[in-house]
Structure 1
């Protein structure tokens, strides 16, 4: 096992044990060796996102996109970080890039619906929510509990989709 693989294993083990600070140390050591290690960039972005450091997380997702050109996981996570920063237009762009390549991405459709609803584009958002649920029925339950849909939960159009 080479040094980078060992650091990935240590980082994942630390993360699994709930020690995200230690995991960040391991993943940053990987980037000291290879700044283009996509897996480490994604892991750091995810940890930063979990700690609410969305702007910093986006920098790591952007690095992955710079390296790979297209990476669905980086785009989903970047979109979520942008959504949490209330930069809905930018989040929507991320989800649409994914849907252009993979129209059957339930997670991209769901997240797009969420960002559209937050922009008060209710009908368009509900169409994407319907699509996400058609692809993956579990999004029906998720939507019924999602705080992003809180303001439209009493609308008949929403109830028809999730109830």
Structure 2
């Protein structure tokens, strides 16, 4: 009996001590995360190591250490941590983030094929985690596999319609492919998800350039030159049917309308006034031609902007999109139209995206 009692007492004491060590380890992990967020990666590693001295298999300490090691470019060490976590906790619901770090580390070692293998393994276990699809897409972009990358980013935004990184990536690929109207829609959506950042400023410049179009007028001349996108000619099949994601009618109309930018009636327009006028035309054209077209960008993005126009929110949209421009007139408008802006944001946040994976 005494032996049994001693064993029970020993087990209880060990359990209490281990519990105290785990609590202390979690404090170090929290400190490490704070250091990582401040950019003090070495300080973060020190805290994670202290946590692991107390609890050598601590899930969070290992996974966060792997992320910080990746940020430091110490990819091999990060991979060791990731492998340990995956082996030790194969059924943990938070393991998807470890697969993301693992894939990033492999990419950092210039092993994109290995990274894809890791992401695919993670996706097989966690198909609904948008970060895995997004990071797989980034690796595919590095391999110049743009069509495959687009499929990954499209899946990511179905899972998380507000993920700015995926909209950003799609916009750049479509712009590279000269898919002008689809690019306009995607960049517009990006600016709703991330209106204030360095990326927002870059993408706003791209967006306004795309809306402006390829229309020029020589000095002291009434002659206007419109350069049409030669790719428009290939947007139909041999039997005359529209290919998927064909926006040729809207693009042609936008180019023709851009010639009016030089008309006396519109010459005094501000940049945002011109943008609103032309964006309303884009949305009207989308509404008129939607029944004759198909494809992901028609089904996913177009309904958002068509409904936006129907609800008279284009002005609110434009002013949010232009926030990063630094124009004081934008700030003034926002202050004077709080209710309109509130109604727009409420509508945008509650919009039901086509094919969104709940």
2:103 corresponds in structure 1 to 79
> Aligned-pair distance for 1:153?
4.2
Unaligned runs of 5+ in 1: none
2:131 corresponds in structure 1 to 107
Q: 1:119 aligns with which of 137, 143, 155?
A: 143
Distance 1:17 1:114, change over 3 A: closer
1:142 is aligned to 2:165: yes
> Aligned-pair distance for 1:68?
0.9
1:39 corresponds in structure 2 to 60
TM-score by length of 2: 0.40
Distance 1:143 1:159, change over 3 A: farther
Contact 1:83 1:91 in 2 (8 A): yes
> Aligned-pair distance for 1:3?
2.8
What does residue range 12-91 of structure 1 map to in structure 2 within 5 Å?
A: 12-69=33-90, 71-91=95-115
> Aligned-pair distance for 1:41?
0.8
Q: Hey, what's the Cα distance between the residues in 2 that align with 1:41 and 1:159? A: 45
Distance 1:114 1:15, change over 3 A: closer
Contact 2:32 2:45 in 1 (8 A): yes
Q: Hey, what's the Cα distance between the residues in 1 that align with 2:120 and 2:106? A: 14
1:155 corresponds in structure 2 to 177
User: Whose radius of gyration is greater, 1 or 2?
Assistant: 2
Q: Hey, what's the Cα distance between the residues in 1 that align with 2:181 and 2:100? A: 26
Q: Hey, what's the Cα distance between the residues in 2 that align with 1:159 and 1:82? A: 36
After alignment, is 4-13 or 122-131 more displaced?
4-13
Q: Hey, what's the Cα distance between the residues in 1 that align with 2:71 and 2:136? A: 20
Q: Hey, what's the Cα distance between the residues in 2 that align with 1:143 and 1:10? A: 31
Query: Deviations for 1:62-106, whole angstroms, at most 9, x for unmatched residues?
Result: 111121125211101111121232211111122212221232221
1:94 is aligned to 2:94: no
> Aligned-pair distance for 1:4?
2.0
Q: Hey, what's the Cα distance between the residues in 1 that align with 2:112 and 2:175? A: 20
TM-score by length of 1: 0.79
> Aligned-pair distance for 1:155?
0.7
> Aligned-pair distance for 1:21?
2.3
Q: Hey, what's the Cα distance between the residues in 1 that align with 2:77 and 2:27? A: 25
Query: Deviations for 1:33-71, whole angstroms, at most 9, x for unmatched residues?
Result: 332111111121111111222222111111111211252
User: CA RMSD, aligned part only?
Assistant: 2.9
2:156 corresponds in structure 1 to 132
Greater share of helix:
1
